[in-house]
Structure 1
């Protein structure tokens, strides 16, 4: 399969190393084979030269001219909604998930482990009950599964509502 992400002006990159690690910025100019000029006016990355070894190319590109001003980049960034597109990628969601797990306390980690154990026990019992469909345990397990699915749907709706409320607060 041929390459699809190329180093070009307007390419959005994820900064992997240095003081701005974890932020995204756009390539404004290519200095030489090893370095590029970056700027991230909407993400707090000042204009600077960075080595390509410190960057990861994303699939996002914004239309800017070579060496454009910070204001022009900001307008193009906001017009293309690059920040929203980045947050919608699975890459950004994985990073967010990793940071959330890293920030858990001991008690929260313990609660997560116990919840996983309980979930796996329910799955295991449901599996064996369904495998032996002729038993009355299968009917009970099926009823429990339906109840848990409803509970999970309600929980997911609550999580989405909470995220929307947090985004509304930030905006």
Structure 2
């Protein structure tokens, strides 16, 4: 069983932010990931229902989600061991917390059953705001805190989360 350890990613682990209309400038993303993003964008051109949609079995799939952002204090930071996340905001505004360093420890470890762990033990959390059309990539092991309100009590958002197994890139 794979376990997330403090040494599992370096303090220099990057993340990536872009806009769906400027994907031609995303050379930093692997060609495989760019193709998956393109396929998802083609499929959501016609609105899809919320829920899970297959791309390549368990290796790559995406979730169409409708949710509501919340104040920072109500959101938990998470990370994944197996899957990379590409979060594409379709409607609304969303703030993300993230860290380039791993968690100092885990508060709730569900990696074996749900590929998610939660922790409040973040190192140098940073924040970025996304608007409709923006996307952000979080690599396996990278702490991130989604669905933070940009202001006030929050707002509804519609987004797509592409999940890609890290083995897909091997």
Indicate the TM-score class for this superposition, using the shorter chain for normalisation.
Answer: under 0.3
Please, what TM-score do these two structures have when normalized by structure 2? 0.20
Structure (1/2) with the larger strand percentage: 2
Please, what TM-score do these two structures have when normalized by structure 1? 0.20
Question: Higher relative contact order at CA 8 Å, sep ≥6: structure 1 or structure 2?
Answer: 2
Q: Based on CA coordinates, which of the two structures has the bigger radius of gyration? A: 1
Structure (1/2) with the larger helix percentage: 1
